[in-house]
A and B are shown apart, each in its own frame.
Chain A
Amino acid sequence: MRLPCKTIPVGLVASLLWAALAQAQSATPVPENGTLEVEQVFAGTCGFCHSDGGRAAGKGPQLMNSPRDDDFIRNRIKQGKQGAMPAFDGAFTDAQIDQMVKYIRALKPREG
């Protein structure tokens, strides 16, 4: 299932791409076609702890249907939690973190 928030507008992507390239330590895969693939970010980094792309609890909590508000999630991604989650404020831009929050909010159970 493709999630509606997976692909974002090219104009926004251009600015994100610039920001990402400006950061030597960016962990965000930026494909050649200029779209930011949040699913890829999960498969590359976040999904190691948030099982099934955030749909199930693993090392980290389930993110689908999270009762936490957007600000909490945004802040947790940036600051992390000691001994549980790394801080990603040096790796992702604010705009990228916003995209992740949107991805989390759109998570649905897998089909089939």
Chain B
Amino acid sequence: MRKQWLSSVLPAVVATFAATAALAQSVDTGRIEAAGQNDWLTYHGSYKSHHYSPLAQINASNVGNLGVAWMHIPGRSTRGLQSMPLVADGVLYYSGSYSRVFALNGATGEVNWSFFPELDEALISRQTHSPYNRGVALGEGKVFVGTMDGRVFGLDAKTGKVLWETRLIDSQKLTVGFTGAPLYAKGSVIIGAQGGEWPGRGPIFALDAATGKKKWEFLTVAGTEEAMKTWGNESWRTGGGGGWMPGTYDSETNTVLWGTANPAPLYDWSGADYKTQGARPGDNLYTSSVIGLDIDTGKLKFYHQELPHDAWDFDSSVGEFVMLERDGQKYVVHPNKGGFVFVYDRNLKVQNVWRLVENINFVKDIDPKTGALIGRRDFPVGKVTEPPLCPFIGGGISWNAGSYSPKTGLYYKIGQEWCMTLDIQKTTPVTAPQAQLNIGADFKMVPPPGGEIYGHLDARDPITGAKKWEVRYPEPPLGSVLSTAGNLVFVPDSRGVLHAYDAETGAELWKHNNGTGHQGGIVSYSVGGKQYIAVTAGFGGMLADEYAPNFGGVYKSMPRDDGALVVFSLK
């Protein structure tokens, strides 16, 4: 009798338990790849980096009824709120400054749990690019987050309890840590360190998602014998690099795709003889490059250096690798800070290069067939004023993400039109890693020659760059862009206004003032059959801090230590 009960009931119990476990469980590689419409499981929306939601409940015909559903205030938002929220099974996860992590009910904003890591505050007070955090990763029932003092945490997604903690960087030595979101894929948590103008070697790490144990480390500065030959003298010891924004994963090639930061010092006095002269003679591999690493071993499989010997800080750290297919050909589209958009095949071989930004003069052009730079401006010691260098150090393209809509076939991306004057200095070579920046010039933001500073949202063909429409802004927006199947494009701007545009025409259909500037993520998700739009508001940081002195107006009184997550739904 008992045996009979077991045989008849137990399978049902097991099945129910398994179904529950599966539901609560797990964000895994297959699920992120499938990119279910109700969720937003990874920084770029899916591994395809579309930053697109297939939800259409909120659409061009009813967006006028969009209103605030709920808000969440993370507190201590020093330098604003810069992260990309993630959503799985109705729970919204996001991070704030000082790597504070929250798990909220996606329908109501009710706090499920929060995690405030105990950080080395004395160290953080000595950091320049700090204490903002740009997001978390989800995988295997965990939430992963990096910290400014060089650690990565694995948290229980249900409770926020620390399951593991791994220290990866001696932040005391370099004062760099992790501000970017990690990437979860195939059992690994991948995260890149800050680098760029810090004189280190810019590592990218992979950790075992289950245990936190380090699997591999790739040095973006002289990480191979081939690369070592591209750094003259001892400059490889302090070359900068790094990969501070999350890249993505291509399951077809088993490859992690990542964009790398600029070399140090930012500005070099070499002049045209940069191959043999200056602070870091040579091409400086693998800085300002896109790289493909075997996800299992961390070995470099292929790369393209977008800017050999980057002398302008127009690096490749932008994390988007927009994957799409056209006429049977598979492409990867990657924007570069200099204002060009590179189109690659899946092995990072250049297929095309096009300009998003009008004011570019650090090169005359980039060969669309090979990616070779044409007519470089390499500066010797002295002033750079006539003409000024374009774009400004903030880039023609900043680190936040654009959006690709498979429905319209258009890529929606923010461009920035601004320039800078410089005074290049011949600084003494920095021969050992140090605790502070290594810039190499004084500089100042100026308008483009004969024009004004402005920003623009472009709707472009992602392969050819053909422009369908453009919307202009008096100051460049700094937040991410979201497109949806509801024929909508959302742009959170710098003054604090969230705009919704018709995805086909660019006509503004709705706007809402969130009360402070945006410079973080925006996503869409669904809970209980209802669609939501979630955006982070809160200004401040390395680029936003330039707005008050240069633009005045609303920026003069805009806080740079505040922020909120604002979530919208139809009224």
Q: Taking beta carbons and an 8 Å cutoff, which residues of A are in contact with B? A: 24-27, 29-32, 37, 39-40, 42-45, 47-49, 51-53, 56-62, 79-80, 82-84, 86-88, 90-91, 110
Contact = CB atoms under 8 A, between A and B. Distances in A.
Contact of B549 (A40, A58, A80): A58
Given A40-B428, A48-B437, A83-B78, 11 more contacts: A25-B436, A40-B425, A52-B423, A58-B445, A58-B545, A59-B542, A59-B546, A79-B125, A83-B79, A88-B436, A91-B436
A89 B571 CA distance: 53
16 contacts: A37-B428, A43-B423, A43-B442, A44-B439, A47-B442, A52-B442, A57-B549, A59-B542, A83-B78, A83-B560, A83-B561, A84-B560, A86-B175, A87-B125, A88-B126, A90-B435
B415 interface: no
Interface of B: 78-79, 125-128, 130-131, 172-173, 175, 197, 265, 421, 423, 425, 427-428, 430, 434-445, 540, 542, 545-546, 549-550, 560-561
Given A29-B430, A52-B423, A83-B540, A44 B437 contact: yes
Contacts of A83: 78-79, 131, 540, 560-561
B549 A47 contact: no
A55 to B, nearest CB: 8
Contacts of A43: 423, 425, 427, 439-442
Given A52-B444, A88-B126, A82 B78 contact: yes
B283 to A, nearest CB: 23
| 9 A-B pairs with the lowest CB-CB distances in the bound complex, closest first | A27-B436, A57-B549, A25-B435, A43-B425, A83-B78, A29-B428, A53-B442, A59-B545, A51-B444
Contacts of B545: 49, 58-60, 84
A29 to B, nearest CB: 4
Contacts of B546: 58-59
A87 B128 CA distance: 9
B568 to A, nearest CB: 28
B427 A29 contact: yes
Contacts of A27: 434-437
Nearest to A61: B549
B126 A87 contact: yes
A81 B128 CA distance: 11
Contacts of B175: 86
A27 to B, nearest CB: 3
B443 A51 contact: yes
A48 to B, nearest CB: 5
Contacts of A62: 549
Contacts of B434: 25-27
Nearest to B132: A83
A45 B436 contact: yes
Contacts of B435: 25-27, 90-91
Contact of A45 (B172, B173, B437, B540): B437
Nearest to B131: A83
Contacts of A56: 444, 549
Contacts of B442: 42-43, 47, 51-53
Given A40-B428, A44-B265, A86 B444 contact: no
A47 B425 CA distance: 11
A82 B78 CA distance: 8
Nearest to A50: B442
Contact of B126 (A26, A37, A52, A90): A90
A36 to B, nearest CB: 10
A82 B437 CA distance: 18
B399 to A, nearest CB: 16
Contacts of A86: 125-128, 130, 175, 436
Contact of B443 (A29, A30, A40, A47): A47
A58 B430 CA distance: 25
A110 B445 CA distance: 16
Contact of B421 (A42, A52, A88): A52
Contacts of A60: 545
Contacts of A59: 542, 545-546
Nearest to B426: A40
A24 B170 CA distance: 13
Nearest to A43: B425
A59 to B, nearest CB: 4
Of B79, B125, B421, chain A has the most CB atoms within 10 Å of the CB of B125
A61 B51 CA distance: 36
Given A40-B427, A59-B542, A83-B79, A48 B439 contact: yes
Contacts of A32: 428
A53 B126 contact: no
A60 B442 CA distance: 13
